[in-house]
Structure formats: structure tokens, C-alpha cells
Structure 1
Amino acid sequence: MGLKKILSLVTVTMLVASSVVGCSSSGGDASKDAKGDQVKVDIFQFKVEAKDALEKAAEVYEEKNPNVDINIETVGGGNDYGAALRSKFQSGQEPTIFNVGGPQDVKDWDGKLENLKDEPWVKEAFDGTLGSVTTDDGIFGMPFNQEGYGFIYNKEIFKKAGIDPATITSYDALQKAVETLDSKKGDLGLDSVFAVPGKEKWVTGLHLLNTALANEFESGKQAYEAKELGFKYNKELKDLLDLQVKYAFKPDGKNGSINSVDYAMQIEQKYSTGKVAMVQMGNWAYGGIEGVNKDIAANSGILPMPVKGVKEDCIPVGVPMYWSINKNKDDAEKKAAKDFLNWLYTSDEGKKMIIEDFKFIPAFKGYESDTLQPKDPLSADVLKYANEGKTMPWVFMGYPSGWGENVVGADIQKYIDGSMSWDDLVKNAQKTWAEERK
């Protein structure tokens, strides 16, 4: 039986890899209802980059389980997944499987989340990957994967510019490299050093902001529990933003135009064509780069996101999103949903797809063999940072709902176009955080 085609798709965001061992499910009769009737599983998910791989996995699973019909809808990137999910539930078209991001989402979706504490993959999850979706009552999400982000850079351009990326272990070293690239951009064929997607508030309000707040809070859960925001490293955040803005591609030559640059322009039109040397983005972007230019994709790496004087030779690494199951669906539907996810991440066939098709970095044990190691250089770099302990946590899923994008992300756009001062941005961030936590 064929997979129902995707209903909706937008440009990206975030995110990448999970897997698990043990209790591998064949996905056979376990997914039939008591009468052997057709069981429909609706999946509403955010990761646009994983769309094709998820469709393929669903088709394979359906072939093994002819009584299961998996229907996938994808909304991500330029669209607000959280808002789209709320609309989905409000319309009465509640999905069987959907995504949550951390403690705030677990609270927001209380009453809709199936307790997954007894699922076989739980004991295979790496330490720390379940904390954001764990409460005293249970475990309410399955990790997608692990992802990391920093400054993706073009190795060939760096080589031509005479820059050794191994020396970029501090903010000062990064600034020096940027200035060198800018001075040689004519010879290197560059439009600019960076492409900054100011239009994508998740890039600034979630990911960039995280570099400062990950040094203020130890985890997303601690951020979620914080009543006030100190924002103690806001000046260091400003330095990191200003460096990018100063040397960024500007469509019409003005800072404000940076806010018109979206993910597609940043990754596909500028970085993947060799017109910029660096972009702030994560390993999930590899597929998009490869789709435009295989040579540039193969010669890309990830540099640190240095918070000056705090954590400099590190990148943020974490779980981008979790699979959750709607507890209000009937037992046959929930059983099929659990069986599909368990099969995808724990069976030999599923694990191979997780690595080769999804290009995920596993969040589970059981992927230790050489054949199950990440194949692309960006994921390999993320693993290297993680193995060397050069990471900072993802705390943005502990922000108040919508605060990162709709408050700080929006204010960063105003700061870029000159309509808001940095001091006012900081004061508004602190004020709105406290108001949300009352």
C-alpha cells in the first residue's frame, strides 16, 4: 500500500538523529486492531529535511504491515509549527503522532501526551536526551536525533585565503579570520563573508540567543523553571551578531535588507554556490547544500560559536524535537504508532535508514558499528565536538512559549534595521520573560 502524499511543506529549520537498539519490532500483526481492520496513523511533523526519508520509511513499514495506513503532513522552517499544530487540534483533525520540543511543550500539551515510559527504546536513550520530556508522571517524547550547529564554512575558500580552521578556537580568532576573508573576497569570488537569514526568527531568537543563555542556564529544564532572565552574556551575544551583520550579504546594500534573507537564500543561493564563506546553521543543512553543489557539501565543516570570554571553542548540541503520541486516540492507533517508531529506530532496517536516508546523528545506543556512523562531514564534525566535550546545551526549548522567536527574534530584526537599540532589546527580553513566568 502506498504512502499518502504529504499535504503541506515549507522551508526549513532546525535539527537530526536518533536511533536505538534492543527489542526490535518486526512491525507485524502488532499493528492490527482487534478486528484486523485498517489502522490509520496520521503524522504531523516539523522536519522538512526529513520529509522524503520519512515517506520512504512509512512506505517500507506499510509493505510489512498492510493493515496500517500512514498519512504524513509536514510543516516547518518558514512556518510556525507550534501554531500549525494548535490549529490542527482546534480543527478536530488531531494527529496520532506529532512533535514537542521540551518542558514548555510538555506543559502546554498536558492531557494530550501518551506516557512512553514503558517503550523498549527508553533504556537505549543516551543520558540527558530524555530530561526535557520527563516529569514525575512519566516520559512523554522520543528523541528525533541529536543535532549541532555553529558556523558552517567552505574549506576550499578558507584554504585559498590561507586560513587554518583549526586555529579558530576563540572569538578573537574568528574575527581575525572574518576580516581576512573580507579583505580577499574579490579574489575569492565572494559576495560577502556571511549570509545571515534575518527573516528566519528561529535562527536568531532560538539558536543564536541560545549561545548566551546556554551559559546562563545548565539545561532547558532549568531555563523553564527560571522566573527571571539575567541575560548576563548579552554583550557577548551582541558581538557575535554584530560580526555577522557587519560582514553579511545585503541584498540592497542596507542592514535592513538582511531581514529579507530567508533560509533558502542563505543556504541554497549563497553558501551552496560559493558566494559566501560561512553561515550560522547546523548539520541538518547538509542535504540542502548537497542538492545544489556536491563538491561544496563534501568540503564543508563546522566552526565554533564563541561566546567571548565564556565558552569559545564549543558548539551547541542537543535534541531538536521529540516524537509524541496522542493519548486520546484509540488503542489500535496508538499501538501502531508506537510500533512504527520503535521499528524505525531499533530494527536493523530502520537504523540503516536513520543513518543513510535521514542522515541523523543517533540519540540512542546501538549505532556503534562502522556502517552506522554519520556519512556527511557536518554530522561527523558535530560528533567530534561531542566526543571531545566541546559542547554547550540547547536550552531554547525551555524558553516561554513563543518568546524566543516572537519577542527576541522580532526584536533582533528591529535591532538589525536600526529601529531598536540593543539596551532596549535586552530590557524587553527580561521584562517579557518575567511576565510569562508569573
Structure 2
Amino acid sequence: MGIKRILSLVTVTMLVASSVVGCGSKGGDAAKGDKVKVDIFQFKVEAKDALEKAAGVYEEKNPNVDINIETVGGGNDYGAALRSKFQSGQEPTIFNIGGPQDVKDWEGKIEDLSDQPWVKDAFDGTLGSVTNDKGMFGMPFNQEGYGFIYNKEVFKKAGIDPATITSYDALDKAVKTLDSKKDELGLEAVFAVPGKEKWVTGLHLLNTALANEFESGKQAYEAKKLDFKYNKELKELLDLQTTYAYKPDGKVPSINSVDYAMQIEQKYSTGKVAMVQMGNWAYGGIEGVNKDIATNSGILSMPIKGVKEDSVPVGVPMYWSINKDKSSAEKDAAKDFLNWLYTSDEGKKMIINDFKFIPAFKGYESDELKPKDPLSADILNYANKGKTMPWVFMGYPSGWGELVVGSDIQKYIDGSMTWENLVKNAQKTWAEERK
């Protein structure tokens, strides 16, 4: 899900030829020495099984290293859980941070990774949000993109060519066509909107408007005020979804009870809705329910009317960081594991085949290392055509996207807040946080 927590700010670069070889890439320096435990506290639910598999393989090569993984994501607030973890004294060795705000918030705990062998192979733009004059503090998880995941078979039956949906007006027309043919298409609704998930609305949906206001997450981080130039266009995009969304009790407020699992697994993956706002990370969940629908899925743009209508937001969802207060042995083992995972031949195959990641590093140019699922392929296609917009939401004030705007969107959906007041509160709270 990216998230679930996310994100950052990146211009996607085409994969270019380069071989990645680094210290520790075959099990390296951690293969010998005293027993050492590495605790990983990570956010990506979709990567949980693959990460545990990778840790197991690494442990076989390095019997003195014990890797313990804890995953907090999905419907849970990773940032709050991470703070709680540190406050309890159970500090992990490896954990996740987002953009410049997280670098500032965690500056007393994060290790400078500037000297790591993978740094030279990170794509241009992927390290800027975790770099300042004191160092570079994060290893990119991967690259991800999101938009409207759609069911190709349903579109075909409805007589809709997805290639023509490159504007808000075209999307609006397609949505109304799908709605008019719901019965014959076997749909309960056109969309499933996870109103319960404030990260979907307060981070990802909001980003489509603010990525047209700010050039990068770093610029958003440095901005003292929010103009919210395209709030009316954002409202239009949200209203289109909620008007034609699945409603558990038939009424709009009940959209706020729909969570990620219901959206992806219960509705989209069973063919009961034609579209969902989500990213390429959802492929594994869809495939786990229905392989046919998974292989017949694609991604459409999320158009902000009159601005950038044919592009998708693409960025680095999170970064791996290392707790600088851990022992040298723990930190060395943590660095070795991450380097092995992303740069060894064995690790790279797992990154593609098990994690199903779009890499943020050079060295994945061979055919066997190119992403194979159609959602990732679509994201790369948008990137190769230059039809992307940055992830600026990790430049938001801490917690602001979810706790303020995400919460207010829930109130807007249930009718207890007007859009005008939502906009005013967003501007007011942004300015207060930036003082």
C-alpha cells in the first residue's frame, strides 16, 4: 500500500545499464563473528512475507545474525507505532522514514549512510528527500506509483477504450458509462473508496492537487503557507468517486467504514467494482484473491482538471534507516543485510519476483529483473513517457495529511464539514505547523 505511510518525491528515471556490486553482497562481513540480533520495524504489509523469506535466506548465509521482523501497516498508523516503539525502550535496529520532515523528526536517531556501496547506484532524485548538510539518512525502499486501478475486462465489455482516458472529462464520461451498465457488467458500483483509510485521501488523493502546487516534497516542506490552488478540482475528483462508490448501507457516510481490505480484496478483486484508487503495490493482494482480474488490471491517471490530467504520481514510499545508537555489530549486520538484499544477484531476484518492487537502483536491466506484473509495467510506461508527478506528501507537516486533511475529508463525506471549511482548516493548520 504503499503504503501505507509514505512517501516522497521523486522524478522516475528509466532503468539504465549498470551492474551493482557491493560489499557484503554475498553475505559479506556479517558472515563471521559473535551472535548479533537485528530488529526490523517496517511499514509495508504487502512486503511482509517476502521480507521474512529474504531474512531467512540471509540468516542461512550468516548463522551468527538473527533478524527479527515486526510489521505495522495496513489500517494502522506506522508513524505513531514507531514513536511508541522508541518510547517503550524497544528501539529497532532498522526502521522506516519518509521525506525531509521525518529526517528532521528523527535526526537524533538515524545513521548517516553516505558511505554505503549502493549510494552510487541510486537513481537521480531518489536520495534528495533524505539528504541534508549533515549526511544521507535513508535507503530507498523502491519506486511506486498510483492512480485508478481498473479492470480491463469490464472496460472492454462496456465498450470503453482506456487509452482515451487522459483527462478528467474523459474519466467522468467513462464512469457514467460504467454506472449505466452496472447490471449487465455485474457491478455493485463503479468505485470502492476506502474512506476509513485517511492515508488514501489525506496523503495520496490530496497529493494530486498539491503536486501541481509544489514542484517537490522538499519545496512543500519549506513552504510556510498553503495556497491550495486546486482545491475545487480536487473536490470534483473526490465527488466523482464518492457519487459512484460502493456504499455499505446505501448512504454516502457509510463510505467511511470501507477499509483497504474491503476495497481491494472484497470488492475490486471479486469483480464487484470496476475501479479503485490505489497503486502498483496492491497487485499481490489482488492476485491472491483472483489471478485473472490481477493479470487483466491496469492503471489510469488521476486527473486534476485543467492542470496535469494524464499523469500518475510516482515516488519512493519510504526509506530504510538504521538506528545510530545501536552497537557497531548490529549496525554493520543491518547495513550488510540491506546491501545484500538490493545488490546481490540472489537478492535482486527476490526484489523483483517476491517483493514485486520497481527498483530505485541501477543494476536491474536484464529481462529477468524487469517488473512482470501489469500494474508495475504501467507505472514504468508512464515514467518512460515522462507522464509523472512527484510525491510531495512526505513534505507535509508531521501528521498533517492524515490527522488533519484525512480526518476532515471523512467529515466532508459524512456531511459534518463543508468543503470551504475543510480548505480553510487545511491552510490554517499548515501555517501553524510551519511557524
State the TM-score, normalizing by the size of structure 2.
0.96
- Return the offset for 1:28: 4.1
- Return the offset for 1:25: 2.4
- Return the offset for 1:281: 0.2
Q: Paired residue for 1:183?
A: 180
Aligned pairs (5 A) from 1:12-411: 13=4, 21-23=20-22, 25-28=24-27, 30-31=29-30, 36-411=33-408
The whole-number CA distance in structure 1 between the counterparts of 2:334 and 2:421 is: 47
CA 1:61–1:69: 2 relative to 1, 3 Å: same
- Return the offset for 1:14: 6.1
The one-letter amino acid paired with 2:4 is T
Deviations 1:117-171 (A, max 9, x none): 0101001000100011000111000000000000000000000000000000000
CA 1:29–1:147: 2 relative to 1, 3 Å: closer
The whole-number CA distance in structure 1 between the counterparts of 2:159 and 2:2 is: 34
The whole-number CA distance in structure 1 between the counterparts of 2:20 and 2:267 is: 40
- Return the offset for 1:77: 1.5
Q: Paired residue for 1:5?
A: none
- Return the offset for 1:31: 1.6
The whole-number CA distance in structure 2 between the counterparts of 1:184 and 1:32 is: 61
Q: Is the 8 A contact 2:310 2:387 kept in 1?
A: yes
Deviations 1:220-264 (A, max 9, x none): 111000010000000110010000000000011111000000000
Deviations 1:408-436 (A, max 9, x none): 00000000011100000000000000000
SS at match of 1:99: strand
Q: Paired residue for 1:6?
A: none
SS at match of 1:405: helix
Structure 1 segments unaligned to the other structure (5+ residues)? 1-9
Q: Paired residue for 1:424?
A: 421
Q: Is the 8 A contact 1:15 1:284 kept in 2?
A: no
The one-letter amino acid paired with 1:76 is G
Q: Is the 8 A contact 2:25 2:343 kept in 1?
A: no
The whole-number CA distance in structure 1 between the counterparts of 2:389 and 2:278 is: 15
The whole-number CA distance in structure 2 between the counterparts of 1:29 and 1:211 is: 42
SS at match of 1:216: coil
Q: Is the 8 A contact 2:382 2:388 kept in 1?
A: yes
The whole-number CA distance in structure 1 between the counterparts of 2:19 and 2:284 is: 23
| 19-28 or 245-254: bigger deviation | 19-28
Q: Is the 8 A contact 1:205 1:408 kept in 2?
A: yes
Q: Is the 8 A contact 1:24 1:347 kept in 2?
A: no
The one-letter amino acid paired with 1:242 is D
The whole-number CA distance in structure 2 between the counterparts of 1:123 and 1:238 is: 42
CA 1:295–1:203: 2 relative to 1, 3 Å: same
Q: Is the 8 A contact 2:140 2:360 kept in 1?
A: yes
Q: Paired residue for 2:432?
A: 435
The whole-number CA distance in structure 2 between the counterparts of 1:170 and 1:138 is: 41
| 123-132 or 11-20: bigger deviation | 11-20
- Return the offset for 1:13: 2.7
The whole-number CA distance in structure 2 between the counterparts of 1:354 and 1:12 is: 17
Q: Which aligned segments of 4 or more residues in structure 1 are displaced greater than 2 angstroms?
A: 10-20, 24-29
Deviations 1:315-373 (A, max 9, x none): 00000000000000010100000000000000000000000000000100000111100
The whole-number CA distance in structure 2 between the counterparts of 1:103 and 1:28 is: 32
CA 1:45–1:175: 2 relative to 1, 3 Å: same
The whole-number CA distance in structure 2 between the counterparts of 1:348 and 1:304 is: 34
- Return the offset for 1:11: 11
SS at match of 2:147: strand
RMSD: 1.7
The whole-number CA distance in structure 1 between the counterparts of 2:122 and 2:23 is: 14
SS at match of 1:273: coil
Structure 2 segments unaligned to the other structure (5+ residues)? none
SS at match of 2:146: strand
State the TM-score, normalizing by the size of structure 1.
0.95
Q: Is the 8 A contact 1:11 1:263 kept in 2?
A: no
The whole-number CA distance in structure 1 between the counterparts of 2:143 and 2:228 is: 26
Q: Is the 8 A contact 2:5 2:43 kept in 1?
A: no
- Return the offset for 1:27: 4.7
SS at match of 1:186: helix
The one-letter amino acid paired with 1:155 is K
The one-letter amino acid paired with 2:276 is V
How many percent identity over aligned positions? 84
- Return the offset for 1:215: 0.5
- Return the offset for 1:24: 5.2
